[in-house]
Amino acid sequence: MCEPVSIATAAISGAQQIAGHQAATSAARGRNNAALKNWHRQTREYEVKANLDNVKYISDVVDQDQDQDRTYQAMLDQWSDTDAQLNKIFATQDFAIEEAIIGMHEGSYAGTQTGATAARLAGKSAMEAGRKKARAIHSKMFAVDDANRQKGKTYTAAKHDSDMLFRDIAFAPVHGFAPATPEYEAGPSKASLILGLAGTGLNAAKSAGAFKAPSVMNTNVMNTNYNAFDGSIKPSSFRY
């Protein structure tokens, strides 16, 4: 009666071990699939973000080129304004020199006076004209220096603005490392399943008595009889 029960118990235990192994394998496969899907999603997000960063960088470079052109044009416009002011100053002082020369010639006429008085009056007008011309030339020289200084300041400011614009696009975007490939989980070993099934079979065989030694008191020995006369053993006419 023990042998069928042992075999049934072993079969159930073996089925449970197989089912547990398959469940563990399926769970490991599910976790690996989830890790793979998550890696694909992260990789796609990385690629999309890198593409958007590249597009934005290209757009920033184009905008920077336009800003550089506008900065350079603004510097040229400022220089043009400075030159216009300088030309205006030059024209004003040229007119002052012209008026001084006219005044000198008008004042050089001494009328009926002669000698030292006439010479003094003529020299006085020449001296006045010389002072006016000196002031006019001095003003023009200072105007040139001021214009050059203003142009230098304009150039320095434009250069600074140009450098700041370049720094915004000096370095292309760095995307970093792409998501690493996930490390997959190894499923349960089949060797452990095989050993477990072998152990279950061995226990079942032990329970069924497959490894039990046979009894020495078997029916063949018990069914013999001893002959008292000749000392021989002969089969008994009766059975136990």
Predicted confidence (pLDDT) per residue in 65-103, tens digit: 999 999 999 999 999 999 999 999 888 888 888 887 877
Q: Which residues of 50-79 are buried (b: 16+ CB within 10 A; e: fewer)?
A: eeeeeeeeeeeeeebeebeeebeeebeebb
Number of domains in the chain: 1
Examine residue 240 and state whether it is found in any structural domain, yes or no: no
Task: For residues 137 and 160, give the distance between their C-alpha atoms in angstroms, rounded to a whole number.
Answer: 35
Range of the domain at 78: 2-171+190-194
Examine residue 220 and state whether it is found in any structural domain, yes or no: no
Q: Which residues of 209-229 are buried (b: 16+ CB within 10 A; e: fewer)?
A: eeeeeeeeeeeeeeeeeeeee
Give 240's pLDDT tier (boundaries 50, 70, 90). Answer: very low
Name the residue with tokens 């900065």.
71
- 35-54 pLDDT, tens per residue? 899 999 999 999 999 999 99
What was the pLDDT predicted at 25?
78
Examine residue 114 and state whether it is found in any structural domain, yes or no: yes
- 212-223 pLDDT, tens per residue? 545 555 444 444
Examine residue 164 and state whether it is found in any structural domain, yes or no: yes
51/106: higher pLDDT: 51
What was the pLDDT predicted at 115?
55
Q: Which of these ranges, 137-141, 176-180, 184-188, 226-230, has the smallest mean pLDDT?
A: 226-230
Examine residue 206 and state whether it is found in any structural domain, yes or no: no
Q: Which residues of 150-176 are buried (b: 16+ CB within 10 A; e: fewer)?
A: bbeebeeebeebbeebeeebeeeeeee
Tell me if residue 25 falls in helix, strand or coil.
helix
pLDDT mean over 227-237: 47
Examine residue 122 and state whether it is found in any structural domain, yes or no: yes
Examine residue 157 and state whether it is found in any structural domain, yes or no: yes
What was the pLDDT predicted at 214?
54
Among 137, 124, 125, smallest CA distance to 96 is for 137
What was the pLDDT predicted at 101?
80
Examine residue 98 and state whether it is found in any structural domain, yes or no: yes
What was the pLDDT predicted at 116?
59
- The mean pLDDT of the chain is 76
